[in-house]
């Protein structure tokens, strides 16, 4: 099976712009979670989507939003970008929702730089 | 919410020695504890996990132990090799509708040849 893919791999934006990141999960996986990774902060949970519904949300401002389509592909949107949004954004898919302690498979990430 | 902490933040060992990485968690309802390894420039990958009904789990050179009373779990790597050098993340989650996987900040393990 093909692994989790994310597009684009790299993005450079300026403050105030918005950005959309895409994640394609492993075929058959219904859950997609998004994480922000920054040096020293580890992996911070943004949100999880399961069967097109947001299951849970982390402690991020409303500028961060997401959605999931019927084919389980997911998109994450960040509006009004700030310098502090520069990070590696990782998505992870699992067969079922994370509530059951299911293994998550990570994508390669999208490196976002905000100038 | 859940808080997961890892100690130490960096660890350096000689090749062939053992390495132990400890994590503590705050939510006594947590019941799933995975460990992820992230090599430089690569994506995190699950290396071992444990559930709360088990006290220890082994997979070749890697083992994880869980102490529910003290709310901590540890990763043990024996006979370390240079390819074990990476960032290791522990995580914890509960079951149920509002559960999520909460990660620690990661520990950088360096294995000196």
Separation CA B25–CA B6 (nearest Å): 9
Nearest to B97 among A41, A99, A108 (CB): A99
Average pLDDT over residues B90-108: 87
Question: B46 pLDDT band (50/70/90 cuts)?
Answer: very high
- Mean pLDDT, consecutive 10-residue segments, chain A of 115 residues? 93 98 96 93 92 92 97 97 97 83 92 97
Q: Can you read off the two tokens belonging to residue A86? A: 């520069």
Q: E strands within B26-99?
A: 32-38, 45-51, 56-59, 62-67, 72-77, 86-92
Task: Give the position of tokens 């992230």.
Answer: B38
pLDDT, position A6: 98
CA atoms within 13 A on the CB side of B25: 29
Tell if the CB–CB gap between A44 and B32 is shorter than 8 Å.
no
Task: Give the position of tokens 């992820």.
Answer: B36
Residues 6+ apart with CB under 8 A from A91: A4, A6, A21, A23, A25, A32, A33, A34, A35, A74, A76, A106, A107
Q: Please state the φ and ψ torsions of residue A108, each to the nearest 5 degrees.
A: -75, -15
- Give the torsion sign (CA, A100, A104, A109, A113): positive
Tell if the CB–CB gap between A45 and B103 is shorter than 8 Å.
yes
Q: Can you read off the two tokens belonging to residue B84? A: 């074990």
Nearest to A99 among B42, B89, B95 (CB): B95
Task: Report chain B's mean pLDDT, rounded to a whole number.
Answer: 93
């Amino acid at each position: 099976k093909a692994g989790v893919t994310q597009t684009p791999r790299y993005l450079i934006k300026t403050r105030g712009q918005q950005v959309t990141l895409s994640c394609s999960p492993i075929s058959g996986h219904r859950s997609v979670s998004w994480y922000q990774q920054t040096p020293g902060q580890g992996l911070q949970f943004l949100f999880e989507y399961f069967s097109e519904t947001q299951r849970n949300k982390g402690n991020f401002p409303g500028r961060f939003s997401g959605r999931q389509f019927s084919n389980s592909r997911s998109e994450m949107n960040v509006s009004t970008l700030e310098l502090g949004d520069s990070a590696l954004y990782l998505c992870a898919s699992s067969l079922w929702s994370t509530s059951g302690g299911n293994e998550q498979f990570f994508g390669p990430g999208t490196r976002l730089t905000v100038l | 919410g859940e808080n997961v902490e890892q100690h130490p933040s960096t660890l350096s060992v000689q090749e062939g020695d053992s390495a132990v990485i400890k994590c503590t968690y705050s939510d006594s309802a947590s019941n799933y504890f995975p460990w992820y390894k992230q090599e430089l420039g690569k994506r995190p990958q699950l290396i071992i996990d444990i559930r709360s009904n088990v006290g220890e789990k082994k997979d070749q050179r890697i083992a994880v132990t869980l102490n529910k009373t003290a709310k901590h779990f540890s990763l043990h790597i024996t006979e370390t090799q240079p390819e074990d050098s990476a960032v290791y993340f522990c995580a914890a989650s509960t079951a149920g509708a509002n559960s999520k996987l909460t990660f620690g900040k990661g520990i950088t393990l360096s294995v000196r040849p």
